[in-house]
Structure 1
Amino acid sequence: MSGAGTNKRLAQGRRSRGEILDVASKLMAERGFAATSIADIARESGLPNSSIYWHFGSKSGILAAVMERGAERFFADAQPAVISGPPPEALRSALRQVSDTFPEHREFLRLFILLLLSGDDESRETVARVRTRGRTSLRAIIETAFQPEGAARAARIAEHLADYALAVFDGAFLATQDSPTISHYALMDQMAGSIVALAADVA
């Protein structure tokens, strides 16, 4: 096969893989992982079952790929451009920047919450990886915001409050989905304020 033919086939393969992931992400975010079948994904994508199995091997393989791609995109966009100033202002600004990603990454975040609540054995490892990455990201934001109080104290505060921050962040996303009148900026401001208040008790 010529080089041009090989390149064309590789491009088609990448395109079909992306189409499968797009469809799978949408369906799983709407229905949940358990209620989405390979047949559903094949029908919506217009690709045969064999193509889906060739790319991913199984439905669990599709889920892992969906979450990996979604996590890469989300965490790349969720990095605050600047974290500076006194801790309250720095934290408030950073969390607002992160919450700006809610609309664009709604499918990924919704699927993550659904998987988290489902307790499905097939998705447990994937969910754990994403959750660990989320905690690491929020911990880094908190630590950076509290640097004016000293590196050692900032690290202690970040470690002490990272799990709390992750739980509140999850709740904030859910709250904005349930009621469009709730401002994600207001929730992030409240989250920042509560973290600053709790940090005062960290030795």
Structure 2
Amino acid sequence: MSTASVDRRTRRRQQTIDEILDVSIALMETEGVAALSLSAVARQLGMQPPSLYQYFPSKLAIYDALFQRGAEQFRDAQRKAVADVPVEQQLAHGIAAFGRWCMANQVLSQLLFWRTVPGFEPSPEAFAPALEVMADVQSHLQEAVESGRLREGAASEDGLALLTSMTAGLLSQQLANEPQASFEDGRYMKLIPVVLEMFFHHYAPTRGTAT
């Protein structure tokens, strides 16, 4: 078999995988994240359910691929948001990108940030982009510590947990109460600057001491 034939088969296979994931998201939007049905996915694609197993061995495998897709998209959106802004603004821009992406991708957000599917745990490969995001945020916090804008501890595991819990809490409230609102108009999303101010106040450098 020629290299061109192999490439065509690889492209067709990837196109089918992408279609399966797109249909899965659409079904999860209407039926609920945990209610995904392989039979329903196959019907939407016009294939027999056994054919689906040529691409995904189980429903959990589809969830895993969706988790990785979402984590990669989220990571890329956050990195793009901070690429061309001053260092001292990167944390705020990154968190805003988090909220904006989640509002635009609510199904994937539920899969990434809440345990909506009983028994599902992302594979290490799928989870890797999410770890990169956390490392990026921790790096922004560390920069703020080193520049004297935050005191030691802000970039610790506890500091990171506090910041992500506060921002995820706003997102949870937003999606629960105003899922149709835009990021700009969302009542809870508008509180992101307040949350950041609270975090910076909590980790404000001690007066008269060097960081």
TM-score range, shorter chain: 0.7 to 0.9
Q: Give, in whole Å, the separation in 2 of the partners of 1:51 and 1:171.
A: 40
After TM superposition, give the deviation of residue 101 of structure 1 in Å: 2.3
Q: Give, in whole Å, the separation in 2 of the partners of 1:90 and 1:26.
A: 33
Query: Which residue does the alignment assign to 2:44?
Result: 44
**Is 1:188 the counterpart of 2:192 in the alignment?**
yes
Structure 2 counterpart of 1:146, one-letter code: V
After TM superposition, give the deviation of residue 54 of structure 1 in Å: 1.1
Q: Give, in whole Å, the separation in 2 of the partners of 1:34 and 1:150.
A: 42
Q: What are the superposed Cα offsets for residues 51-87 of structure 1, whole Å, 9 maximum, x if unpaired? A: 32111211111111110111111111112223523xx
Asked if 1 retains the 8 angstrom alpha-carbon contact of 2:141 and 2:155, the reply is: yes
Task: Give the alignment's Cα RMSD to 1 decimal.
Answer: 3.2
After TM superposition, give the deviation of residue 92 of structure 1 in Å: 3.1
Change (3 A) 1:141 1:40: farther
After TM superposition, give the deviation of residue 30 of structure 1 in Å: 4.4
Query: Which residue does the alignment assign to 1:143?
Result: 142
Q: Give, in whole Å, the separation in 1 of the partners of 2:4 and 2:66.
A: 29
Query: Which residue does the alignment assign to 1:61?
Result: 61
Asked if 2 retains the 8 angstrom alpha-carbon contact of 1:83 and 1:145, the reply is: no
**Is 1:197 the counterpart of 2:195 in the alignment?**
no
After TM superposition, give the deviation of residue 28 of structure 1 in Å: 3.2
Q: Give the number of aligned pairs.
A: 195
Q: Which runs of 5+ in 1 are unaligned?
A: none
Query: Which residue does the alignment assign to 1:111?
Result: 111
Asked if 2 retains the 8 angstrom alpha-carbon contact of 1:27 and 1:36, the reply is: yes
Structure 2 counterpart of 1:187, one-letter code: L
Q: Give, in whole Å, the separation in 2 of the partners of 1:198 and 1:55.
A: 49
Please report the TM-score for the alignment, with normalisation by the length of structure 2.
Answer: 0.75
Which secondary structure does the structure 1 equivalent of 2:35 belong to? coil
Q: Give, in whole Å, the separation in 1 of the partners of 2:93 and 2:172.
A: 21
Change (3 A) 1:136 1:84: closer
Change (3 A) 1:34 1:175: closer
Asked if 1 retains the 8 angstrom alpha-carbon contact of 2:77 and 2:97, the reply is: no
Query: Which residue does the alignment assign to 2:154?
Result: 157
After TM superposition, give the deviation of residue 17 of structure 1 in Å: 0.6
**Is 1:96 the counterpart of 2:96 in the alignment?**
yes
Change (3 A) 1:45 1:111: farther
Q: Give, in whole Å, the separation in 2 of the partners of 1:105 and 1:83.
A: 27
Change (3 A) 1:140 1:45: farther
Q: Give, in whole Å, the separation in 2 of the partners of 1:19 and 1:70.
A: 15
After TM superposition, give the deviation of residue 150 of structure 1 in Å: 8.1
Once structures 1 and 2 are overlaid, which stretch shifts more, 127-136 or 64-73?
Answer: 127-136
Structure 1 counterpart of 2:70, one-letter code: G
Q: Give, in whole Å, the separation in 1 of the partners of 2:42 and 2:189.
A: 39
After TM superposition, give the deviation of residue 25 of structure 1 in Å: 2.7
Asked if 2 retains the 8 angstrom alpha-carbon contact of 1:37 and 1:59, the reply is: yes
Q: Which runs of 5+ in 2 are unaligned?
A: none
Q: Give, in whole Å, the separation in 2 of the partners of 1:16 and 1:101.
A: 25
Asked if 2 retains the 8 angstrom alpha-carbon contact of 1:172 and 1:187, the reply is: yes
